[in-house]
Chain A
């Protein structure tokens, strides 16, 4: 045995400059072990040498960087498709790590030492921290990031069984026999970790029987890492992120062999029984030449047997002694020395196991050996099970009854079919608490925490599982507490029996670590909205920017020209992002009257009104237009980013007041193009035989028109301060309409305009942008929108609050201001008056029409009237400004009423 060649010839991978051959059954770890590698990693805190231990993916010892990906569990990763493997920590190498000196300095690093040191002088810690940041971590992050995109698949089985051991297979088979659709997942390949023999054969039989059912599905090398509300169980395999939504769940994740605590328990050469058994029985490798087995369970005798048969037969070594209770002594094969009722109290060796000390009948004996195999009971692998709160989850086999026999596990699994779900689902661990042994052994391999550190922390007052965990970092490492959680509980329960302080720490997802890219599979919801004219904008070279979740044109190359087109001739803008709704029904008027602070009931058909939307606190939520189409029939608009919220608002109030109103969101199905500028009417009349003169469609009016063959609802609007018609139409005709407008516009030297021009145009008119110029607590009067609030109405949402606020002194206002200097202040500039900081600029642009900077800014004036002069300070410098009255441009509104 212990040959240098894998049993079946296969692939190879590169390991730190060496080529390592691997067989078909090999994991990375088994191939490395065969090649003589014994140092698999360096521990987190003391940089102690660590080697293979559990071989079941439960401990941190075999984590390596595989093909650039750090912290991969090499003991459960098949070697076949791997190219490059390296160990993470260790300088200059993991084999000879200078930082292992830290172990000799451990007296300087008792539990919580970092809370007690480097406090003074204050410059010390930043330097120390730089050093710590150089040496921390399980491995380097990948240099060449490559995200592999998995897809999501949803499954809706009746039963999800997690774990393909005896119990899981029996549960799956029983459920399938009962006619249920069953999905079985296992994080490895079913049976692969079990040494050949009766157990593995039985697993094969159950598997085949289950797989014959048409309603059975199996996912192998698929890791279920969480049980979330729903229940939702995400499962990751090589190709997919499976989202499983089962009616019920059977957790059969088995158990981890109990981690024994004694000095030297982390030395290379110390093994858990299942790991050693797997190494010998599955991979044909011997854990050592002279093996001592210590066990107190029937299962341990099986491992002993597997080791004895394989190791001896192949001549790679021998089991030299068995430390067992006297009651099990008869199960030890002949030729192996039996040490009855003994306990392993120490393992020693420098960097590798050389001997163990066993205490029996009050006498200590030292046994020379290079492998110590421990099979001392089981701790449930219940990370998943404990995550369940209200879900229909049952545990079966070792996870629920650690140490049950294979027959019991099978019975247990079978019983889960149709069984009532206990509540709350929790592991009923039947095992006794682990012995904590000596003060010096490591409880936690991830973080190098010893029992003496528990004791130390306890003495300092950290006297609950949760505080001990946080103070010592036990259970917080890569193993998720698989090895150490039981010890933590046992320690606290021993010290303060019966107290709340010994309760288990909260089980959190994930039960197994999971790549962020796998989590992210399918999670990039395309929250990027395009209007039906998006392609047109992109084709004409528009600069597109985010506006909430929309992508909108900022400009088409020349903001100044776009601006002039609107002011001097005519221009078009895609305003399809506006929230657009049809509101109709017998109570439509009542609803709108209630949610709008303006009058609605007196609106004549084919007339519109500017509206605010307030919440109960009297604060501005949004603004828009309400257009009356007929009795109880309205077309209402909101801002681009406020539409969704406004829709919820409408629906909530409809429900709240028990109204009969139909609300249709037509934001996507209806597009809108604003035709604005002094010659807008001329342009429209080129494309329509319907009248659009001031009589046919006056300011504040709307009508239906056919424009370039497209049916449009045309609304006179005011935002940019020029004669403007908003053409609302079916989105599928948008491109045709846009093209026709541009075509006809050539005669007027027309350009489309984007948001940059719009922001200047509206600012010159003193119109606010909700969000940019307002905060969540903006009342209409603070921003000069009193005209849109009719306090004469008996009731509307926000009225009570506005009435109360009206009695308070106004201490903040959004004010228009002009800046006569060479430039306008930057948006975000800070405002000062008489040297005191009074506010900030929310909107600011250079106005070609006024030949000065125009801005809106918040000004605090707690003592009465706002200042008349302000100074704005931005990243460039200072500008002097004057507080004025808006609007800056066309104050009487003659142009837009044309």
Chain B
């Protein structure tokens, strides 16, 4: 086991140069994946990823690690399925174990209306070869016997869309895996380097400003999440993004009993248990816009109550840590990526609560776009122009939580 005992440098420190072919702003999953595929697929290796804090410090490192492809429009199902398929082989691709685990994901309905919605989702997933089936209440109980089928008597479970390959992964490993693999290919990952301005020449974006000076670039990609509008403001671009906090918590570690990932559309909550035994609980975005990543008591209290309704055994489990990320929300809850009206400036944003699942395909498609200057078919429906063209890709019914 040479890899196991080695002390290979995963994240080398490099000196900031004055020019790169491509600068990627944001060292989260999407930024790092974009850099990796630029080097890997297109041989563009003179690439820098500029991260103002540490890599994975934004949404990628705060998300709740659920992988799934059970979306609700043809465009997004194809997109997330492509991502899911890349995730399947990602550990080998990056030579970094991401600890992906297929656990089966239940998306429960507690009313007839929601049951219809979940049935529709299962049927549509099947059209695009995504393995989701609709289960009635008895079948749900069989798949996840730990559930209180009456949900504390308050919200009896009608049925669920069951997405069999849905599961979890180690989010930090995805960040570090991409960073390590990209670094091996020559990409420079710089941490602690904020972008403070953009260099514009004749309407074209030609570089970025940092506290260490101006760095010029052939192309600049913003892979910034919750703070993206601060970047687009620098180039004078208006985008339909608002930023909401999203919170989650974990309990202490207990002997694993819950094998499935369980989400509830009506209770706005989802629960999984990691291999380490922590119960991870998330909910919908906070109802107000904010850049604050401070956690709230209201979230912990109301989410704990709903978690106990689903799983009564959780009553005596102990909250270990709660945290908050911020989400770049689009009007239709689908991502926003592609070229912009500003030459040399590309956007990979609008990742809201769904960005983590799309890291491999988002990075791959953005790399192709930047390297070839052609919009890959798979992200063509997700461009900035869709809002003006009345071609929203509505995932409002399926992406509000995770």
Contacts and interface: CB of A to CB of B under 8 A. Distances in A.
Asked if A and B bind, the verdict is: yes
A70 B254 contact: yes
A138 B331 CA distance: 43
B396 interface: yes
B246 to A, nearest CB: 15
Interface stretch (A159-167, A263-271, A508-516): A508-516
Contacts of B7: 456, 459-460
B91 A136 contact: no
Contacts of B308: 147, 516-517, 520
Contacts of A775: 394, 396-397
Contacts of A803: none
Interface string A509-548: 1100111110111111100100000000000000001110
B394 A776 contact: yes
A478 B92 CA distance: 33
A132 interface: yes
B232 interface: no
Interface string A574-588: 000000000000000
B266 interface: yes
18 contacts: A71-B254, A116-B3, A122-B92, A129-B99, A138-B252, A140-B254, A141-B255, A145-B314, A145-B316, A456-B7, A464-B54, A478-B320, A506-B323, A524-B305, A525-B302, A777-B392, A873-B123, A875-B122
Given A114-B97, A509-B321, 5 more contacts: A108-B1, A116-B3, A133-B259, A228-B297, A517-B308
Interface string B362-388: 000000000000000000000000001
A470 B61 contact: yes
Interface string A833-861: 00001001100000000000000000000
Interface residues of B, number: 99
Given A70-B316, A136-B276, A461-B13, A516 B304 contact: yes
Contacts of B164: none
A345 B331 CA distance: 61
A142 B316 contact: yes
B312 interface: yes
Contact of A830 (B111, B123, B154): B123
Contacts of A69: 316
Contact of A466 (B5, B57, B121): B57
A787 interface: no
Contacts of A147: 308, 312, 315
Contacts of A117: 1, 3-4, 97
A53 B72 CA distance: 54
A796 to B, nearest CB: 18
Interface string A548-573: 00000010000000000000000000
B123 A829 contact: yes
B318 A515 contact: yes
Contacts of A140: 254-255, 257
Nearest to A118: B97
Interface stretch (B30-38, B112-120, B215-223): B112-120
Interface string B66-107: 000000001000000000000000011001111111100000
Nearest to B332: A777
Nearest to A146: B315
B275 A141 contact: no
B120 A827 contact: yes
A220 interface: no
Contacts of B9: 459-461
A508 B252 CA distance: 14
B391 interface: yes
Contact of A516 (B297, B317, B391): B317
B294 interface: yes
A487 interface: no
Contact of B110 (A461, A501, A546): A546
Chain A: interface size category? 35 or more
Contact of B111 (A88, A113, A545, A873): A545
B259 to A, nearest CB: 8
A828 B294 contact: no
B390 interface: yes
A765 B116 CA distance: 21
Nearest to B94: A119
A835 to B, nearest CB: 12
Given A229-B296, A519-B301, A110 B4 contact: yes
B256 A471 contact: no
A458 B155 CA distance: 49
A764 interface: no
A811 B9 CA distance: 53
B313 interface: yes
Interface string A439-461: 00000000000000000100111
B300 interface: yes
A463 B191 CA distance: 10
B116 A119 contact: no
Contact of A129 (B4, B101, B254, B302): B101
A44 interface: yes
Contacts of B124: 830, 840
Interface in A74-122: 88, 107-108, 110, 113-120, 122
A522 to B, nearest CB: 8
B319 A145 contact: no
A228 B1 contact: no
B301 A523 contact: yes
A514 B318 contact: yes
In order of increasing CB-CB distance, the 3 nearest A-B pairs are A461-B11, A828-B120, A137-B277
A372 B238 CA distance: 65
B148 to A, nearest CB: 9
B5 A464 contact: no
B317 A515 contact: yes
A500 interface: yes
B195 interface: no
A136 B279 CA distance: 12
Given A456-B7, A513-B252, A228 B318 contact: no
B319 A467 contact: no
Given A516-B318, A519-B319, A779-B390, A138 B101 contact: no
Contact of B120 (A119, A804, A840): A840
Given A69-B316, A129-B275, A546-B110, A141 B254 contact: yes
B257 A141 contact: yes
Nearest to A811: B391
Contacts of A143: 313
Contacts of B201: none
Contacts of A524: 154, 305
B208 interface: no
A808 interface: yes
A115 B97 contact: yes
B7 to A, nearest CB: 5
Contacts of B113: 546-547, 771-772
Contacts of A113: 4
Nearest to A130: B275
B365 to A, nearest CB: 22
Contacts of B300: 509-510, 519
A232 interface: yes
B210 interface: no
Given A508-B295, A777-B394, A873-B123, A516 B91 contact: no
A798 interface: no
Contacts of B54: 464, 466-467, 501
A606 interface: no
B283 interface: no
Contact of B251 (A228, A501, A516, A776): A516
Contacts of A554: 112
Contacts of A779: 390
Contact of A828 (B12, B116, B276): B116
Nearest to B161: A828
A55 to B, nearest CB: 20
A805 interface: yes
B346 interface: no
Which residue among A119, A139, A243 has the maximum number of chain B CB atoms within 10 Å of its CB?
A119
